[in-house]
Amino acid sequence: MNKPSCIDFFNKIGIRKPRFTRSEYVEHQQRFGSDWMTKIDLAGEGLSGKNMEEFYKVKNSSLDYAIAINSLYYYDFYRQFLEICERRKQLFGDRILDLGCDIGITTCFYAWMNPESQVFGIDIIKESTLRAQELANRLSLKNVKFECASLDEFEGTGFDTVVSTAFVHEAIGVKSIASEVDLYKSLTKLAQHTWRYMSDSGVYISCERLVDDMTVFTWIDTLRSVGFGIDSSHCGVIKWKEMNEQSEFRLVLAKNDLAFGNADIDILCKALRIKRPDKHGIGLLLAGQ
């Protein structure tokens, strides 16, 4: 039987399933120096606050180191999500945009899987887009480009497919969200920018760490409020193992087509495994139900 192509892709770029063994630890020590784990742990403290940039500068100091660290944390997520992308290849159009692309693992996979498409990745950290370009060069991909830009700076438009993975919680700065109103405002801004990039018939695939039911339906609600419709038949939950912890990401498919806006709320909540919001919940989600 043929291997799934995302595994071929992993093999090509050196993404490996982590074993968490002593021999793996020693192998990383030999490749990246004795402080390979401590330096990322220390830099990781910045992730919870202002110093996100420092974390990515350390992690993305070299492509191989970044690939090793991403494999350690994200292998199981990449495997599950990219297999879904393979199975739903029809969602990927001629122009594809990856928001918050980091070192371009997902971006390069979309380009590799869709050689006829033009793929763009944007990230706010310069080191990340430089490493992403290196990864594309390693794979001899000619159909992918990267730009160092935040969401409000990026001027591209007309994308048929926009994708974001593990992006929203960092882009809104979860720790700085003090209230539901802040959450609503920040997510609305993100949704507005994303909508601006889309072609008339574009789809937005968001696969995100949304911490609780309130955040999930606020995200759905803000997407709808800016003009997206939600296609519940492509929504779901990805349960994956992040180091030794269980994580859950919500997969939401939004179309630049409000006709999908009236998707049955119970079906949507079931797909996303959240409780149906009560009448005090965010209003738009319930509008017209």
Ligand X SMILES: C[S@@+](CC[C@H](N)C(=O)[O-])C[C@H]1O[C@@H](n2cnc3c(N)ncnc32)[C@H](O)[C@@H]1O
Residues of the shown chain interacting with ligand X in the complex, contacts defined by CB under 6 A:
56, 100-102, 105-106, 122-125, 128, 150-151, 165-167, 170-171
CB of 218 to ligand X, least distance (A): 18
CB of 123 to ligand X, least distance (A): 5
Angle at CA of residue 52, ends 185 and 146, nearest 5°: 85
Nearer to ligand X, 19 or 126 (CB): 126
CB of 173 to ligand X, least distance (A): 8
Give the orientation angle of helix 36-44 with respect to helix 22-32, to 10 degrees: 90
Q: How many other C-beta atoms lie within 10 A of the C-beta of residue 69?
A: 21
* DSSP per-residue letters across 72-108: HHHHHHHHHHHHHHHHTGGG--SEEEEES-TTSHHHH
| Residue 59 burial (10 A CB sphere; 0-12, 13-18, 19+) | buried
CB of 46 to ligand X, least distance (A): 12
Nearer to ligand X, 106 or 232 (CB): 106
Nearest by Cα to 135 from 4, 8, 52, 12 = 12
Residue 278 region, left (φ>0) first, then alpha (ψ -120 to 50), else beta?
A: beta
Nearer to ligand X, 76 or 261 (CB): 76
Nearer to ligand X, 167 or 217 (CB): 167
Within 159-261, residue ranges assigned H as helices are: 168-171, 180-197, 213-226
CB of 265 to ligand X, least distance (A): 29
- 69/184 Cα distance (integer angstroms): 32
- Measured CA distances, 253 to 10, 57, 79, 229 (Å): 25, 31, 19, 9
| CB-nearest residue to ligand X | 100
Nearer to ligand X, 114 or 164 (CB): 164
- 285/289 Cα distance (integer angstroms): 8
Nearer to ligand X, 165 or 232 (CB): 165
CB of 287 to ligand X, least distance (A): 29
CB of 23 to ligand X, least distance (A): 26
Nearer to ligand X, 163 or 265 (CB): 163
